[in-house]
């Protein structure tokens, strides 16, 4: 595009428009990177951390349930056994509450297949333990501690191990996802610094080039015009000097 024929005001307007466009591009890119990092932070704090906390709470409820179950088997007084059974029920309700919340979060956050499989494994273990736990509680109420202990050691313990492992795996997945998000955020921040630096440098360089080009486009015509005026003035003086009577005294 030739700009020599443009007016000075038009050239200045064009230069400022280009500079503003570069600044707008820099600002837009910076805001976009900030939004991306904020989204990553939200994923960590509102999704992954919450899911990990729910999985840990389920593990805690499971542990409390099993401790109360063992206590019920070991105790001999009916009142003490009943108190432990109530603790089992409370832990079971807490587990169900955390489980429902976790399932809702996984459904809303498009959970990975690994997360869903870990939750299914935990659910399968929970289902497999229901009847067994009822039998152990019944044996404890009948003071059949030997039978209850055998059920715990030979049947419930392996199920509990699988159950706890599934919940641990679920929490570990959240930790791994956090690490991936943090790594992605660091990469985005590094890329943003490079791009913003490049855009800033381009803006400065563009400003310098535009200033030079506009100054040159303005100064050259003025220089040519001034040279023409000086040449005409010299020619006129020469012509005046060559006329008869010019330069002579009275």
Q: Report the distance separating Cα 89 and Cα 66, nearest Å.
A: 11
Query: pLDDT tens, 220-250?
Result: 666 666 777 777 676 676 666 665 555 444 4
Query: pLDDT tens, 171-218?
Result: 888 888 777 777 777 777 777 778 777 777 877 787 777 777 777 776
- Residue 65, both tokens: 């349930």
The fold adopted by the segment(s) 19-206 is 1.20.120
Q: Report the distance separating Cα 79 and Cα 216, nearest Å.
A: 100
Q: Report the distance separating Cα 82 and Cα 37, nearest Å.
A: 52
- pLDDT given for residue 243 in this prediction: 54
Query: pLDDT tens, 201-210?
Result: 877 787 777 7
Query: pLDDT tens, 13-61?
Result: 777 787 788 778 777 777 777 777 666 666 666 677 788 888 889 999 9
CA angle 12, 31, 200 (to 5 degrees): 45
Concatenated DSSP letters for the chain?
---TTS-HHHHHHHHHHHHHHHHHHHHHHHHHHHHHHHHHHHIIIIIIHHHHHHHHHHHHHHHHHHHHHHHHHH--SHHHHHHHHHHHHHHHHHHHHHHHHHHHHHHHTT--HHHHHHHHHHHHHHHHHHHHHHHHHHHHHTT-HHHHHHHIIIIIHHHHHHHHHHHHHHHHHHHHHHHHHHHHHHHHHHHHHHHHHHHHHHHHHHHHHHHHHHHHHHHHHHHHHHHHHHHHHHHHHHHHHHSTTTT---
Identify the CA nearest to 132 among candidates 116, 111, 146, 153: 153
Query: Can you give the residue ranges of every domain in the chain?
Result: 19-206
Is the per-residue pLDDT at 94 higher than 90? yes
């Amino acid at each position: 595009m030739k700009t020599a024929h443009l007016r000075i005001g038009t050239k200045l307007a064009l230069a400022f428009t280009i500079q503003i466009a570069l600044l707008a591009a820099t600002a837009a890119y910076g805001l976009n990177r900030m939004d991306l990092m904020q989204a990553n932070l939200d994923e960590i704090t509102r999704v992954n951390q919450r899911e990990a906390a729910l999985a840990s709470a389920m593990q805690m409820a499971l542990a409390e349930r099993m401790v109360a179950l063992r206590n019920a088997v070991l105790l001999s007084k009916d009142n003490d056994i009943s108190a432990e059974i109530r603790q089992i029920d409370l832990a079971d309700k807490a587990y169900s509450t955390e489980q429902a919340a976790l399932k809702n979060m996984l459904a809303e956050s498009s959970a990975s297949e690994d997360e869903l499989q870990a939750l299914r494994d935990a659910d399968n273990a929970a289902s497999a333990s229901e009847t067994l736990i009822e039998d152990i509680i019944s044996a404890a109420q009948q003071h059949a501690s030997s039978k209850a202990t055998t059920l715990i050691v030979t049947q419930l313990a392996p199920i509990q191990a699988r159950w706890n492992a599934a919940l641990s795996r679920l929490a570990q997945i959240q930790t791994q996802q956090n690490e991936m998000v943090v790594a992605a955020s660091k990469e985005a921040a590094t890329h943003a610094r490079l791009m913003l630096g490049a855009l800033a440098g381009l803006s400065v360089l563009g400003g310098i080039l535009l200033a030079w080009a506009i100054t040159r486009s303005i100064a050259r015509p003025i220089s040519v015009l001034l040279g023409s005026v000086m040449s005409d003035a010299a020619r006129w003086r020469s012509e005046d000097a060559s006329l008869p009577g010019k330069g002579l005294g009275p």
